[in-house]
Structures are given as C-alpha cells and as structure tokens.
Amino acid sequence: MVTYARMLKYEVPEELSLSPSPYNAAHHRFTVLVAVLAFLLILAGALVTSNNAGLAVPDWPTSFGHLFKIPPMIGGIKWEHSHRMIAEFVGLLTIVVAIWTWRVDKRRWMRWLTIGAVLGVTFQGILGGLTVLNFTPPLISTAHGVVGQTMFCVLAAIAVFTSRSWLEEPAEKMTRKDAGPLIRHSWMLIGFLYLQLILGAGFRHVWTKWGPPGSNHWPTHKIIHIFLYPHILNALLVAGLVLYLGMRTLSKHSNIPHLKVPGMWLLILLVLQLMLGIGAYVVRVVQGVDEAQPTLALVGVTVAHLGVGALILAVTVILTIQAYRHTGEPADVIPFDRSREVARA
Ligand code: HEM
Ligand code: HEM
C-alpha cells in the first residue's frame, strides 16, 4: 500500500515504478560478456570454414572418441576443436544467463527469451554436430552459419534489455508518425541482411565443398551465378537501406543517442564491409580458384567479412528494438491511470 510518508519524500513506490524490473549491474555485465563471447564464437566458426577444417575432427559429440580429452591441437584440428570448446563454454554461460534472469528479472517475456536462447544455442550445437556427421553438406553448414548469427543477435538483444537505459523511461521519444518509416525500413534491412547471409554462406559452402578446391562437382560459373552475383546485387539494396537509416537517425533523431549511435555504426560498418566484400571476391574467386590450400589472405579477409556482416546484423536488430523503445510521447509525468492510483492512495 502506498503511504503519504513515502509520497511526500517523492519516492516512487516499487509497485508504481515505471520500470518493470530493477537494474542489476552484475547481471547486465554478464549478459554483455556472453554476447561478446558469442561474437568470438562466430569468428571461431568462420575460421573453421575458411581453413577447410570442418572435418578435421571426424566424430561428434566426442572428439576422436573422447568427451573431455583435448586432442593434439595441430593442423585443422586446432580450428575445429577450439570452435567446439568455445561453443560449449558459450552454451554453458547461456544457461547461467537463463538461471540468473529467472532469479532477478521480473519480466516474464524476458525470462522466456533466455529460455529461447538456451534452446537456440542447443539447436545450433546439434546442427554443428550434424554437419560433421554428414560430411559438411552445404545445406546444413549454411543453416549452421545462419542460426549462429541469429543466436548472436538474440544474446546481444538480451544484453540491451538488461541495460540501465532500457529499464529507465527514455527522456526523448519519437512520435509514432516519425517512428513508422524508421521501424519499417529497419525490418526491411533485417530481411535483406538475412538474404545476404544465406547467399554468402551458400556461396562459401558450395564453393569449398563442391567447387574448385573440393570435388569440382559444380562448375565455378554456376556457383557464381546462383550465389555470388545475387549476393553482390543484394548488397546494393542493403547499402541503400543502411544509407537511408544512417542518414535518418543522424539528421532527424540526433537527439536520441540510442538511435543515432547504431545508425552511425551502420554507416561505418557498411563502408568496411563493401571493401572486405571486394577483397573476399579477389581472394576467393580471382586468386583462390587455383589454390589447393587456403592462403593467409583468404582466411583473414573472409573471416573479417563474415564477422563484420554479423556485426551489421546485430546493430540493425539493436536499432530496431531501440526504435520501438523510443516511440510514443515523452513520459515526463506519471501516466494518467497511475496518477489516479497515486491520488487514491
Ligand atoms: C553453439 C554455438 C555455435 C555457434 C554460434 C557456431 C557458429 C558457427 C559459425 C558462425 C560458423 C561459420 C559458418 C560459415 O562459415 O558460414 C561455424 C562453422 C562450423 N561449426 Fe559451429 N557453432 C556452434 C557450435 C558448434 C558445435 C557444437 C559444433 C560441433 C561439431 C560445430 C561445428 C562447426 C563446423 C564443423 C563448422 C564448419 C562448417 C563447414 O566448414 O562446413 N559448431 N559455426
Ligand atoms: C553490406 C553488404 C554485404 C554484407 C552484409 C555481406 C555479408 C556477407 C556474409 C555474412 C558472408 C558470409 C556468410 C557465411 O558464410 O556465414 C559473405 C560472404 C561473401 N561475400 Fe559478402 N556481404 C556484403 C557485400 C559483399 C560484396 C559487395 C561482395 C563482392 C563484391 C561480397 C562478396 C562476398 C564473398 C566472395 C563471400 C564468400 C566469402 C568466402 O567464400 O569465404 N560481399 N558476405
């Protein structure tokens, strides 16, 4: 029950607090750590593919017959087994995030989101195992790449949802009319980024398994026409949307840092990604067509291109959820229905 004493001290009683869950610094920092580790896990996975090391450890869930014993970290085994170990660690930490969230977070949807993250990471681990047991078929490997980036985005979103700024009422908001185009175009960008990811991963896995360095099962021009040209064409749509969102957040919503900062990062990452894309084309298709073994340049450029792609997707997801959070009228007063409760008390 709200008392006059509490009201006179201008304390917002917990039952009337606009924030549905109190900020917990340690919990938030832990979710940020897990999201950062998930990004490193994406890079570790990319290193497996770029080094053609997918089958260096032929069994799963064991590694050379052992569940815990670390095999000699030589050749492709160091990439493949390190990726598995980082994946297991991130899986374990995701379970800790869920348990911790159930203990400290009052938001029901947030609790279930962390359960979803645990299920997603488990599914991803099973896809990783299936790709090994089926000799890295491009379809499963592509699915593994796509679900991996999705899980990174989910963990990044969890880190945003536990932040202090998310839990406090935003000082500045956009009107619904202004927010409409921003939210619509953010969703469109997420869609085109997924298409970009599927085409890029499809190209990479078909090329390395069925193309010139693999079995020559598919002629190079066929792989390029089906996956790479559409990937380059779709990059134009992605670039157009990033430019639109970047410009809009920097000009129209520059008073809202939670929109301006991701908008600015999207523009920076886009420039980097287009340069890395051209680099990936050169090292993979122009130079790489005659290479039996992946060169250092090929590994470096393709892993960086995949990593920056994952960052662009995650920043777009964060921009979209922040756009929803910053929509509506500024809540500088207690909402009408709650002020009546206060008056009654
Ligand atoms: C649970 C979290 C995991 C995440 C987020 C993850 C993520 C990734 C990513 C992003 C790639 C690169 C895909 C690409 O280059 O297109 C990859 C590759 C790979 N991952 Fe994972 N992975 C996880 C777990 C596992 C597990 C448990 C295994 C068990 C064997 C595994 C096996 C592989 C293999 C073999 C590749 C190379 C696929 C190929 O070259 O065809 N992954 N992973
Ligand atoms: C903003 C635009 C772009 C985004 C977001 C993007 C994203 C990606 C991603 C995520 C992958 C790896 C997928 C995976 O295996 O999981 C990839 C692969 C690739 N992309 Fe892009 N890309 C973009 C633009 C370009 C451009 C303009 C080019 C070429 C001119 C290009 C060339 C390539 C190539 C050659 C690969 C395969 C790399 C390999 O074989 O290892 N990309 N892209």
State the amino acid at position 128 in one-letter form.
G
At 18, the pLDDT band (50, 70, 90 cuts) reads very low
| CA 152 / ligand 1 centre spacing (Å) | 13
Q: Are residues 78 and 190 in the same domain?
A: no
Distance from the alpha carbon of residue 38 to the mean position of ligand 1, in angstroms: 12
* Residue 129 resides in a domain: yes
Q: What's the 166 CA to ligand 2 centre distance in angstroms? A: 32
Does the beta carbon of 204 lie inside 6 Å of ligand 1?
A: yes
Asked whether residue 23 carries a pLDDT value surpassing 70, the answer given is yes
Q: DSSP string spanning 125-157?
A: HHHHHHHHHTT--HHHHHHHHHHHHHHHHHHHH
The residue contributing the CA closest to ligand 2 atom 36 is: 200
Say yes or no: 232 and 118 in one domain: no
Cα–Cα distances in angstroms (integers) from residue 99 to residues 85, 86, 114, 212, in the given order: 21, 20, 9, 47
Question: Which whole number is the average pLDDT over 114-142?
Answer: 98
Residue at 148 is within a domain: yes
Residue nearest to ligand 2 atom 30, measured at CA? 278
Q: Which two tokens stand for residue 280?
A: 């990936």
Task: Decide which of 134, 168, 202 is a domain's last residue.
Answer: 168
Average pLDDT over residues 264-287: 97
Is the per-residue pLDDT at 1 higher than 80?
A: no
pLDDT at 10 over 50: no
Q: What is the largest CA-CA distance in the chain?
A: 80
Q: Is residue 340 part of a domain?
A: no
| Minimal-distance CA residue to ligand 2 atom 5 | 309
> What count of other Cβ atoms lies within 10 Å of the Cβ of residue 216?
10
Residues spanned by the domain of 153: 22-168
* Distance of alpha carbon 45 from alpha carbon 342, whole angstroms: 54
The answer, yes or no, to whether residue 131 has pLDDT greater than 50, is: yes
Per-residue confidence (pLDDT) for residue 19, from 0 to 100? 54
My answer on whether 164 and 177 are in the same domain is no
Q: What pLDDT score does 289 carry?
A: 86
Query: Does any domain span residue 314?
Result: yes
pLDDT at 341 over 70: no
Which residues, including other chains, have CB under 8 Å from residue 35's CB and lie 6 or more apart?
152, 155, 156, 158, 159
Q: Is the pLDDT of residue 12 over 60?
A: no
151 lines ligand 1 (CB under 6 A): yes
Average pLDDT over residues 114-128: 98
62, with CB counted inside 10 A (0-12, 13-18, 19+), is: exposed
90/186 same-domain check = no
Ligand 1: which of 39, 42, 49 to mutate, most ligand atoms within 8 Å of CB? 49
Answer yes or no: is 246 within a domain. Answer: yes
- Same domain membership, residue 186 and residue 65: no
For residues 220 and 157, membership in a common domain is answered with no
Q: According to DSSP H, which parts of 162-228 are helical?
A: 164-167, 176-210, 220-223
Cα(256) to centroid(ligand 2), Å: 31
**Distance between alpha carbon 317 and the CA centroid of its chain, in Å?**
8
Output the CA 306–ligand 2 centroid distance in Å. 7
Amino acid at 324: Y
Q: Which of 168, 184, 216 is where one domain is finished?
A: 168
Instruction: Please indicate, yes or no, if residue 253 is contained in any of the structural domains.
Output: yes
Same structural domain, 296 and 179: yes
Contact criterion met (CB below 8 Å) for 300 and 261: no
Is 158 in the same domain as 204?
no
Q: Which ligand sits closest to the CA of 298?
A: 2
Per-residue confidence at 329, pLDDT binned at 50, 70, 90?
confident
Instruction: Give the count of domains, the chain.
Output: 2
Q: What are the residues whose beta carbons fall under 8 Å from the beta carbon of 336, sequence distance 6 or more?
A: none
The whole-number average pLDDT for the span 168-190 is 96
Of 168, 186, 217, the residue at which a domain comes to its end is 168
- 224 lies in the same domain as 140: no
> Could you say which ligand is closest to the alpha carbon of residue 152?
1
The reply to whether 291 and 176 lie within a common domain is yes
Query: What whole-number percentage of the chain has pLDDT above 70?
Result: 90
Distance (Å, rounded) from C-alpha 342 to C-alpha 345? Answer: 5
Q: What is the CA radius of gyration of the chain?
A: 23
294 and 152 in one domain? no
Average pLDDT, stretch 23-45?
A: 98
Instruction: Tell me the per-residue pLDDT of 40-89, one tens digit each, with 9 for 90 and over.
Output: 999 999 999 999 999 999 999 999 999 999 999 999 999 999 999 999 99
pLDDT classification of 330: cutoffs 50, 70, 90: low
Q: What was the pLDDT predicted at 7?
A: 40
Pocket of ligand 2 (CB under 6 A): 50, 145, 193, 196-197, 200-201, 203-204, 207, 228, 231-232, 235, 238-239, 270, 273-274, 277-278, 280-281, 284, 302, 305-306, 309, 312
Give the Cα separation of 262 and 157 in Å (integer).
13
* Binding site membership of 315 for ligand 1 (Cβ less than 6 Å): no
Residues 162 and 212 grouped into a single domain: no
Average pLDDT over residues 153-160: 98
The pLDDT value given to residue 331? 53
Compute the distance between CA of residue 227 and CA of residue 332 in angstroms, rounded to an integer.
51
Task: Report if residue 136 sits inside a domain.
Answer: yes
Burial 287-296 (b: 16+ CB within 10 A, else e): ebeeeeebee
Whether residue 11 is contained in a domain is answered as: no
